[in-house]
Structure 1
Amino acid sequence: MSLSFPSPMAIALGCMVAAFLVSFACVRAAIAYAHRRGMLDAPGQRRSHTIPTPRGGGIGIVIGVLVSMPAALWLLPPSPGVAIVGAFTVGVIAIAAIGWLDDHGSLPIKPRLAIQLGATLLFCLAVSAHTASLWWAAPLVLAGVWCINLHNFMDGIDGIAALQVVVFGAATGIIAVDAGAFGIGIAAGCLDLAALGFWFFNRSPARIFMGDVGSATVGFIVFALTAMLWAWRTDLLWPELILSSAFVIDATLTLLVRMLRGARWYTPHREHLYQWLVRRGNTHSRVAGGYLVWNLAISVPGAWIALRHPAVAPACCGVAYLLGAAVWRTGKRSCLRRRERHVVA
Structure 2
Amino acid sequence: MVAMEVKNLSSNWKKLQEQLKKQPQKTSLSTPTFTASKKPASKQKKQGGSDGAAVSGHDGKTVKKRRISDISSPATKSKGQPVPEKGKKNNKKRKMDSETEADISEKLAETKIASRKSSSASLTKVVSNQSTERSSKVNEGLSPTVKVGKYVAIDCEMVGVGPNPDRDSSLARVSVVNYDGEQVYDSYVQQREEVTDWRTHVSGISPKHMLAARPFAEVQQDVAKLLDGKVLVGHAVSNDLNVLMLGHPRRDIRDTSHHPPYKKLAGGCSPRLKMLASELLGIDIQGAAHSSVEDARATMLLYRRDKDTFEREHAKKWPVKVVQAAEGGRETTPEQEKRKKRLKKKKKKAKK
TM-score normalised per structure 1: 0.24
Higher strand residue share: 2
- Structure with higher Rg: it is 2
Higher helix residue share: 1
TM-score normalised per structure 2: 0.24
Greater relative contact order (Cα < 8 A, sep 6+): 1
